[in-house]
């Protein structure tokens, strides 16, 4: 995937406008059987909500959707109006004239995606974009790979890369993590070896150091391959007794929030090829993030769980075998 193809996937975000509302006493959420509308008052333009915007509004004010679905429209409107007053100020994500999401206002500034891509391309030689994950908070997670490759064990190559998360609309702090692509079955593995979050000093404008931060962070993540491979080799020597495999796998599935048919598919894979060591177990989870899970949010959650499992400093928290050994 090249830069232009990435930018094309970001179009839905770039077509979104952010409208910040200062709550007033006259602000109302009006609900009818067919429509939900926010009337800010003070001469401000009314806005209608899409279905996903209504769900986001309910979540934003703290109303569980299973309860909202049972409420009379007037009751939902009154409750949402009262709860919004506690927020005082909030942002509406507006696309094609309708609200798709309600969020806490951010003091961060939006980032030009073209400049972000140019910066990270300057830090990684021979960069390719492996996958683009669009997240709910108007942010994007980019999986990048470069030219460097190294074996964990004979015949099991992984390719160096980086994972870059940012928002063109400025809804989150930018973040860079190490990333590696296992070529044997093309499953990607995020690592906590390098995990850096940018702290804004100016806001991403001309003269700000954020562009250098993207370049240097991507370069550092990419160059961390040797440390990642060293850790995976350690994990390949962490043998798992057969009686411990099921417990470890279930703990990992729970931590990664993988359930239903996806969890059953992972279990079936474990029965077909029983994991002999911690590295094998890790690859069961990362296989799910690359081949089974469809939701971008679910993929990122599972990637974080896999990175935690692989981290030498936090591995014991997820591993029943380590708990047993420690006790």
Residues 6+ apart with CB under 8 A from 279: 152, 232, 233, 235, 236, 238
DSSP string, 171-192: -S--EEEEEEEETTTTEEEEEE
d(CA 251, CA 246): 9
d(CA 42, CA 27): 9
Do the Cβ atoms of 190 and 306 come closer than 8 Å? yes
d(CA 171, CA 135): 11
Question: pLDDT truncated to tens, each residue of the chain (327 aa)?
Answer: 999 999 999 998 998 988 888 888 899 999 999 999 999 887 788 999 999 999 999 999 999 999 998 999 999 999 999 999 888 889 899 998 999 999 888 777 789 999 999 999 999 989 999 999 999 888 999 999 999 999 999 999 999 999 999 999 988 899 999 999 999 889 999 998 889 998 765 444 444 589 999 999 999 999 999 999 999 999 999 999 999 999 999 999 999 999 999 999 999 999 999 999 999 999 999 999 999 999 999 999 999 999 999 987 666 555 655 554 444
Closest CA to 172 of 91, 55, 64, 59: 91
Copy the structure tokens of residue 79. 């409750």
Residues 6+ apart with CB under 8 A from 45: none
């Amino acid at each position: 995937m090249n830069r232009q193809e990435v930018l094309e996937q970001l179009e839905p975000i770039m077509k979104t406008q952010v409208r910040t509302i200062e709550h007033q006493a006259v602000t109302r959420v009006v609900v009818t059987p067919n429509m939900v509308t926010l009337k800010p008052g003070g001469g401000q333009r009314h806005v209608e909500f899409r279905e996903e915007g209504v769900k986001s509004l309910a979540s934003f004010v703290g109303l569980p959707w299973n309860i909202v679905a049972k409420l009379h429209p007037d009751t939902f409107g009154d409750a949402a109006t009262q709860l919004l007053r506690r927020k005082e100020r909030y942002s509406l994500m507006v696309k094609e004239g309708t609200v798709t999401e309600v969020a806490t206002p951010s003091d961060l500034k939006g980032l030009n995606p073209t400049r972000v891509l140019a910066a990270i391309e300057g830090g990684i030689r021979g960069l390719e974009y492996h996958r683009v994950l669009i997240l709910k908070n108007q942010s994007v997670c980019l999986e990048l790979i470069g030219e460097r490759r190294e074996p964990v064990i004979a015949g099991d190559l992984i390719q160096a890369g980086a994972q870059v998360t940012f928002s063109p609309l400025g809804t989150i702090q930018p973040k860079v993590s190490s990333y590696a692509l296992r070529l044997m079955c093309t499953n990607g593995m995020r690592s906590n070896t390098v995990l850096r979050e940018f702290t804004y000093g100016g806001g991403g404008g001309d003269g700000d150091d954020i562009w250098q931060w993207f370049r240097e962070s991507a370069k550092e993540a990419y160059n961390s391959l040797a440390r990642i491979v060293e850790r995976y080799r350690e994990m390949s020597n962490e043998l798992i007794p057969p009686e411990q495999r099921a417990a470890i796998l279930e703990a990992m599935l729970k931590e990664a929030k993988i359930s239903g048919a996806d969890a059953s598919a992972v279990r079936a894979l474990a029965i077909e090829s029983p994991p002999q060591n911690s590295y094998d177990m890790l690859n069961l989870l990362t296989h799910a993030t690359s081949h089974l899970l469809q939701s971008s949010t679910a993929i990122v959650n599972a990637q974080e769980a896999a990175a935690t499992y692989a981290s030498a400093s936090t591995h014991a928290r997820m591993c029943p075998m380590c708990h047993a050994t420690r006790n």
